[in-house]
Amino acid sequence: MTRVLEGLKPERVFYYFEEISKIPRCSFKEEKISNFLKEFGESHKLDTYQDEALNIIIKKPGTKGYENSPTVVLQGHMDMVCEKDDGVDHDFSKDPIKLKVEGDFVKAQGTTLGGDNGIAVAMALAILEAEDIDHPPLEVVITTNEESGMDGAKALDPKLIHGRILINIDSDEEGVVLAGCAGGERNKVSLPISWEDIDLEDKVIYSITVSGLLGGHSGLEIDKGRGNANKILARTLSFVKDECFSLRLAYIEGGSKANAIPRNGRAIIVLDKEDEDRALEAIEGVEELIYNELKDNEPAFKLKVEKLEDNINKVLSEDTYSRLISILTLIPTGVQSMSKEMEGLVESSCNLAVVKIAGDKIIVESSIRSSKEILKENLSKQIKTVTDIAKAEMESYGSYPAWEFKENSNIREIFKKVYKDLYGEDLRVATIHAGLECGIFAEKFPHMDMISFGPNMYGAHTPEEKLSISSTERTYNLLLNVLKEIK
């Protein structure tokens, strides 16, 4: 059977990328991919460990002349964000990712690609199987559930790791190495619902759908001025309610992942027939306002209104509706502060990520990121204050630390030297607003020398995700030459 990625270079990297794309690996559901990696290590007669969190550690001795070189940890994560376009028939629990090649890019058909962070796994496997690559002793560490709280890295037993140089392959811009990242946490607000029966006589039912937004990684794209479907829904409902007091809310949902800017949202409302025309005019007006605000960054934004014939028999009480709109309006979203130390770097942000009805509660999830712990705590307190005012409950979870920049780093200097030798250009050193597992490794191993790098990828956490083929080849070549330099 012909392979979709056959002929792409580096050949074995793309071979393994295609292999792991066949295996389900959404966050929290990594058993199959973890077992695949375990079987790989054992079949290659390498020391292989699978812990209770399903993390995989595979160790390989240094090649001839490198037996006594410093041990290097190659690190990435096996899980991926599972998102798909509306109308795409794909079951992430069993269906393989359908790969395609478009010019210089590998993409998926209607879903996220999983380049984040499948490319790290593929590079590591290609190195582990090779017999013609010079390298120091290696400890390949592939963690679970990075995308939804970094639980794998947190659970990792530090006694299993002996290397004190870590190369994280979870960045997405060639020619840049990362030497610091933001910390973060997630918050879940639970609002009890008081339902009320409703008589549909002289009533009309409409759905309001937000679509066409780009979404994206809630760290990397938070400063791009992209629309947030949950905020847009709340704003629309408030605007229409001001014009039509009869509006009652029967259903609301928006977003699907705490670490992705929500692209879609939907609400179902019930109105008095006499308010129908005024409501439609109000929705048209708010759509025009929002479109004019977002048109430079979100040209495909749409606010669709559709009349329904559903047999709805209950709606949220006026009190529940009011408290929900307060929560959605007051929880901060977007960039909250910019770094004074590093120009252009987002210092703190919040993403109002998910709104959904679960039984008799409305769940509102947010993700906070900050390079400073005090700002992370302040944003969490702000959400807690909103929660208290709305008489709801808040739970914080998935907290992870920032990775602080260090002035001196030997591995960083090796990367800079090798990159200059290979490509004749200076390697740029930066920090990032997204979270990396390096922060957790820095806590577990305070003296570990760390760096993060990777090939060009775009649209992470969205169905538009794509991985550059040529950049992957250059980045892999860089990694091999860096390993060769560590003696």
Q: Which helix (H) or strand (E) holds 192?
A: strand 183-192
**Per-residue CA distances from 202 to 117, 237, 247 (Å):** 53, 21, 13
Q: Tell me which H or E stretch contains 440.
A: helix 438-444
Evaluated on CA atoms 307, 312, 317, 320, the torsion sign reads negative
The angle that helices 318-330 and 229-243 make with each other, rounded to 10 degrees, is: 130
> What separation in angstroms does the CA of 182 have from each of 10, 312, 460?
32, 45, 17
Q: How far apart are CA 327 and CA 255, in angstroms?
A: 16
Please tell me whether residue 18 adopts helix, strand or coil conformation: helix
Residue 108 has which token pair? 């998926």
Residues 6+ apart with CB under 8 A from 246: 271, 272, 274, 275
Residues whose CB falls within 8 Å of the CB of residue 49, separated by 6 or more in sequence, listed in order = 56, 57, 58, 160
**Is residue 169 packed enough to be buried (19+ CB in 10 Å), middle (13-18) or exposed (0-12)?**
buried
Catalytic residues: 79, 146
H-run or E-run covering 350: strand 346-358
Per-residue b or e along 96-126, where b marks 16 or more CB atoms closer than 10 Å to that residue's CB: ebebeeeeebbbbebbbbbbbbbbbbbbbbb
Written as six digits, the tokens of 149 are 């709280």
Cβ density class 449-463: b for 16+ within 10 Å, e for less: bbbbbbbbbbbbbbb
CA distance 397 to 188: 8
255: three-class secondary structure by DSSP: coil
Strands (E), 376-461: 393-400, 428-432, 449-452, 457-458
Query: Cα–Cα distance between 81 and 369 in angstroms, integer?
Result: 18
Task: Say if residues 116 and 460 touch (Cβ distance below 8 Å).
Answer: yes
Distance in angstroms (rounded) separating the CA atoms of residues 408 and 301: 46
DSSP code of residue 469: H
Cβ–Cβ < 8 Å for 459, 172: no
